[in-house]
Amino acid sequence: MKCLRSGSLSNRRFIKEAIRDYDISFCLLVEKKVVICSSALINFLWPGHCIRWVLIDVMGKSGGMILMWDGSIFSAKSIEFSEYLIYITD
């Protein structure tokens, strides 16, 4: 599976610290490049057992997106997505 690139290690640490320090419930990342994604990368960015996420891969010159959220606050009953849209209902 592919995932949006979170950039350098310093960028990944910045994202992780922002999620922790500002008590973020939702996080949307947009990126131009793709790298291999794993649960380990997602758990590094947002540690915890209730993290949920979906992604849209990069297509041509269009950037990709990854949406992460705290599953203990918001439970997605329906997730739909296309090339440019992620639609989640609770």
Residues 6+ apart with CB under 8 A from 76: 52, 69, 88, 89, 90
Q: List Cβ neighbours of 15 (8 Å cut-off, separation of 6 or more).
A: 6, 27, 29, 45
Please give the distance of CA 85 from its chain centroid, rounded to a whole number. Answer: 14
pTM for the predicted model, two decimal places: 0.74
Which residue, 51, 48, 45, is CA-closest to 12?
45
Q: How confident is the model at residue 1 (pLDDT cuts 50, 70, 90)?
A: very low
Q: CA-to-CA distance for 19 and 41, rounded, in angstroms?
A: 14
Q: What is the pLDDT of residues 10-67, one digit of tens each?
A: 788 888 888 889 888 888 877 766 555 677 778 888 887 788 888 777 776 666 778 8
